[in-house]
Amino acid sequence: MGKFDQALEANRFAANYDAEDMTIQDWFMLAWARQIPELLPMPEGQHLNLGAGNRQIGLSKPLDLEHGWDAASSLFPFNDETISGIWAHGFFEHLAPHVAISTLEECERVLEKGGVLNIVVPHALTENAVEELEHFSQWHEATIPNLIKNPYYEHMRSLNNLRVHTTFIMGVVWRNLALFTQLVKYG
């Protein structure tokens, strides 16, 4: 769809809009004339919470140093394709780049087909990304797509079955803008 077609579609949408049940998708279309996808629901089944610390998400299994798992030296203690969903909030930026890549590979390995991986990291251009000495990797909206598609990374086992469903840059103020990325396992 070209820019002209997008503008026409947005104008039709705005002219017929009823604000009674506004969604973030509606607001984005009204303001920027762009469609954004709805988030995928987390599939039923077993979920992991990487770097959980003391923030438990539902019945997800926490994997972090506090619970006896170290991303730098351990594989996930799960068989291939046995996990339906993974949460990773404020986790990947604490990993060295090579550990972040191997952890993404582990996520792909354990996710079932149709499994969802939700990642939140500070955006590389914000203060929050660089002000902590324990933020060892920087993340940008193109980081994960580059890891998945860039032939430079062919030495990796594989991230070919992960697809980016959506990425949003969100925050309340500039210093804490974050990338909210949702990936799904195909194939």
Chain region(s) in the chain for CATH 3.40.50.150: 43-185
**What does the H/E/C string look like for the chain?**
CCHHHHHHHHHHHHHCCCHHHCCHHHHHHHHHCCCCCCCCCCCCCCEEEECCCCCCCCCCEEECHHHCCCCCCCCCCCCCCCEEEEEEECCHHHCCHHHHHHHHHHHHHHEEEEEEEEEEEEECCCHHHHCCCCCCCCECCCHHHHHHHCHHHCCCCCCCCEEEEEEEEECCCHHHCEEEEEEEECC
Q: What is the pLDDT of residues 114-133, one digit of tens each?
A: 999 999 999 999 998 988 89
May I ask the CATH architecture of the domain 43-185?
Answer: 3-Layer(aba) Sandwich (3.40)
How does pLDDT run across 67-114, given as a tens digit for each residue?
999 999 999 999 999 999 999 999 999 999 999 999 999 999 999 999
Model pTM score:
0.90
